Chain A
Amino acid sequence: MERSMDRGTNLAIENAKALGLSTVWDRYEAQLPQCGFGETGLCCRNCMQGPCRISPFEDGPQRGVCGADADVMVARGLMRAVAAGTASHGGHAKHMAHTLLMVAKGQTGDYRITDTEKLKAVAERIGVEVNGASIEDIARGVALKALEEFSEKDSPLIWAGTTITQGRIERFSKLGVIPTGIDSVVSESMHRSTYGVDADPVNLLLGTIKCALADYASCHLATDLADILFGTPSPVKTAANLGVLKTEAVNIALHGHNPLLSEMIVQAAGSDDLKIMAREAGASEGINLVGVCCTGNEVMMRHGIPMATSSVSQESILLTGALDAIVVDYQCIMPALSSIAECLHTEIITTMPIAKISGAMHIEFDEAHALEKAREIIKAGIEAFKKRDPSRVKIPDISSPAVVGFSAEAIINALSTINSEDPLKPLIDNIVEGNIYGVCLFAGCNTVKIPQDRNYIAMIKELAKRNVLILATGCASGAFARHGFMSPEAVDGYAGEGLKTILKAIGESAGLGGPLPLVLHMGSCVDNTRAADVAVAIANKLGTDIDRLPVVASAPEPVTEKALAIGTWAVAAGLPTHVGVVPPVTGSRTVTEVLTSSVKELLGGWFIVEPDPMKAVEALYQALTERRKALGLKL
């Protein structure tokens, strides 16, 4: 099977072959065929009377030892996956909150409040007193409120309750799915899905939605605090693909998720003594930072650090032979990195006490001495550079220009250059008129199960042609950026007439000297909430709810449990949500039916499961059309 549509990745795979190293694709092939019980969610290991498997055929066992049937087994499994995704985003957000509190208390000199406007805006929204308070006090108030979100409270999560429409809140209340604590709902999910607790598939699914809403709150919290600490992104030019590595520089990749670490490294890399040290080591171009995965998105949108590659192809940066160090925090980091590094000179540097990899160098990160740690990490990169074997360096000469960093604020800013009184109006008018037929948010990963980027490329070409405005986050943005879709130049090539006109008009009036890029980059995976913010703003302005807007979401190549959590809250938010890989639920008719159909009655959103990109486009387009029709918009 074709492995990737990305030439850079394919060249790296060739290198791997030549070096006799295996990549994620080889390991996938070695796994084939994968177990159908796992694929369909019909395998349960939640107790030691198991493992149990339920036969999808009538003449096999239809219940596990405890009596759980396929519906219960699948629903419990899904709940646990969403809980794991929520735990990940929750961990990320909590890490930010602790750091913000340290800043407020003056316990770290390396971080500071960068965006005081955002701090105040968030404080006001969540009910922290702003008037007359010092920045530190406000920050302390926000941090403490944020930390309170994690344990069980007697009120709904603020970061959920204050960021969505009233209509959503009413629906959620009616269904009893409003979470009151992030960690507590993760814990509750583990509890109710364990041996002998919740055995009602529909109740389990509601619990899963509740958990996913906690995931939403975590993501929103993480985004807010990142903006407060490091600044709210605004458009910046950069480039993407393996060609951003430099032969003559110490190349250090920033991989993982949380900007707390990467921001410090960016800062440290700017210091003169380290630059000189790199030159003295023989790197005439000094230090070159590149991003991977969500960390890559965070530093790309705030500093224009180029994006080397996405998650699934993370091994490929090492395989260029030109990467000296890769610094990681947590999530989406393949343990395989260390076995590839064994054969090359690259230093894998883990930094988090909860995420070590055997064979890697560990430099434990410490927020109180963040910059010092960052310098230590860069020095390790310079040391590794000295061991680089120039004969092995094969950097594909491939990179695409990109304009990134469209936070909700940045989009509103750009729109306000057209109408400063009512910035949303031009957007809404164009949607009404049909210049913008609808909006599609692309999110999620790349997977070995689909040739890398195939679905992204096929879908964006078709949707853009049909005047659908494209937003992207996470590895979806990586995919679009690597293939040049995140550049203003792509507009002429792919956008339909209406879309072209509006992207040009906004770009020019916002002083970008050209159209907005074909895809608006909104950030990392937690930043999906930025897109939600825009949708909420539009809904509120129109006095309607999200589930009536011509807005859809797609994760055409998803991998992680986090993606399942995000997908679930997107559905809960009221979005028709496409997933391009069949999740492990098909073993249960009930669960499959609820998620792809009857959930629509309850929440307005639903899952579209479709591996074929063109069929997915049709389904999404039809959903947009239905909504336009219902709103009486031009078709």
Chain B
Amino acid sequence: MDQVFVRPERCMGCRSCEIACAVQHSKDKTLLSAIMQSPSPQKRLFVEWADGLKMPVLCRHCEDAPCMNACISGCLYRDEKGFIRRRKERCIGCWSCIMACPFGVIVRDRHKRIAVKCDRCHKLDVPACVNACPTKALILVDVDKIPGDRRKSVLLSINNGEA
């Protein structure tokens, strides 16, 4: 399965990923129309900072997803590709998922009573944020293609920006 990896030491904090995300979740999926769209489209990942660090924080589509476990309405589910997605019409806006997500990446829709989260751009091969990142701070790795015995060390080196 392809997974999005974050390499904070490469993040410039330019927010290209945030913009690409919002555009991808707009009606016409172009920057221009997204800017004109009202209400404006919402991003699902967040470029954050800590001392000496910038990084995009985004949904990890966790193996044992707390948000999905917490969802009391059957809105959040895991799709056939393994992504945690919404059945929008079933969301009742109880915010249990926001309560459960340890990364803080699920937010409320600004206009409707419905939770908003990353859908890993399930219709695209490469998610919009990964595509937009100019420094490859966000990269897509096919975890299954890394042999099991090497997986840990490879992922670690990716994390350290060596890959």
Contacts and interface: CB of A to CB of B under 8 A. Distances in A.
A/B: CB atoms within 8 Å of each other: yes
Interface string B129-149: 000001110000000000000
B49 A33 contact: yes
A36 B136 CA distance: 14
B85 interface: no
Nearest to A29: B49
A37 B12 contact: yes
Contact of A35 (B10, B13, B48, B136): B13
Contacts of A32: 49
A61 B49 contact: no
A33 B52 CA distance: 10
Task: Pick the most buried of B10, B12, B54: most chain A CB atoms within 10 A of its CB.
Answer: B12
Nearest to B133: A60
Contacts of B48: 33
B134 A33 contact: no
A34 interface: yes
B52 to A, nearest CB: 11
Interface string B7-32: 00011111100000000000000000
A39 B49 CA distance: 15
A55 B134 contact: yes
B49 A36 contact: no
Given A33-B47, A33-B54, A57 B14 contact: no
Given A34-B13, A37-B12, A53 B134 contact: yes
A53 B135 CA distance: 10
A50 B135 CA distance: 17
B139 to A, nearest CB: 11
Interface string A503-540: 00000000000000000000000000000000000000
A57 B135 CA distance: 7
Task: Pick the most buried of A33, A36, A37, A57: most chain B CB atoms within 10 A of its CB.
Answer: A33
Contacts of A61: 134
A59 interface: yes
Contacts of B135: 55-57, 60
Contacts of A36: 11-14, 54
Given A33-B48, A33-B49, A36-B54, A60 B136 contact: yes
A39 B134 CA distance: 15
Nearest to B54: A33
A32 B47 CA distance: 9
Q: Give chain A's interface residue range (CB within 8 Å of chain B).
A: 10 to 19
Interface in B108-156: 134-136
Nearest to B51: A1
**Chain A at the B interface: SS class:** loop
A35 B14 contact: yes
A33 B13 contact: yes
Interface string A45-64: 00000000101110111000
Interface string A76-100: 0000000000000000000000000
Nearest to B47: A33
Contacts of B49: 32-33
A511 to B, nearest CB: 52
A88 to B, nearest CB: 28
Interface string A361-378: 000000000000000000
A59 B162 CA distance: 12
Contact of A53 (B10, B11, B14, B136): B14
A59 B15 contact: no
Contacts of B12: 35-37, 39, 56
Contacts of B14: 35-38, 53
A33 B54 CA distance: 6
Contacts of B136: 57, 59-60
Interface in A239-295: none
A38 B12 CA distance: 9
Nearest to A59: B136
B13 A57 contact: no
Contacts of A37: 12, 14, 134
Task: Pick the most buried of B47, B48, B54: most chain A CB atoms within 10 A of its CB.
Answer: B54
A622 to B, nearest CB: 27
A61 B133 CA distance: 12
Nearest to A53: B134
Nearest to B53: A33
A544 B47 CA distance: 54
Contacts of B47: 33
Task: Pick the most buried of B13, B54, B136: most chain A CB atoms within 10 A of its CB.
Answer: B13
B112 to A, nearest CB: 25
A35 B11 contact: no
Interface in A386-409: none
A567 to B, nearest CB: 25
A37 B137 CA distance: 14
Contacts of A39: 12
Nearest to B55: A33
A38 B136 CA distance: 17
Interface string A1-44: 00000000000000000000000000000001111111100000
Task: Pick the most buried of B14, B49, B54, B136: most chain A CB atoms within 10 A of its CB.
Answer: B14
Interface in B32-84: 47-49, 54
A35 B13 CA distance: 5
A25 B134 CA distance: 29
A60 B134 contact: yes
B99 to A, nearest CB: 25
A37 B10 CA distance: 12
Contacts of B54: 33, 36
Nearest to A32: B49
A364 to B, nearest CB: 35
Contacts of A57: 10, 135-136
Contacts of A59: 136
A60 B54 CA distance: 18
A60 B7 CA distance: 14
11 contacts: A35-B13, A36-B11, A36-B12, A36-B13, A53-B14, A55-B134, A55-B135, A56-B135, A57-B10, A57-B136, A60-B135
Interface of A: 32-39, 53, 55-57, 59-61
Interface of B: 10-15, 47-49, 54, 134-136
What are the 3 A-B residue pairs with the smallest beta carbon separation, nearest first? A36-B12, A33-B13, A33-B49
Given A35-B14, A59-B136, A61-B134, 11 more contacts: A32-B49, A33-B11, A33-B47, A34-B13, A36-B11, A36-B13, A36-B14, A37-B14, A39-B12, A53-B14, A55-B134
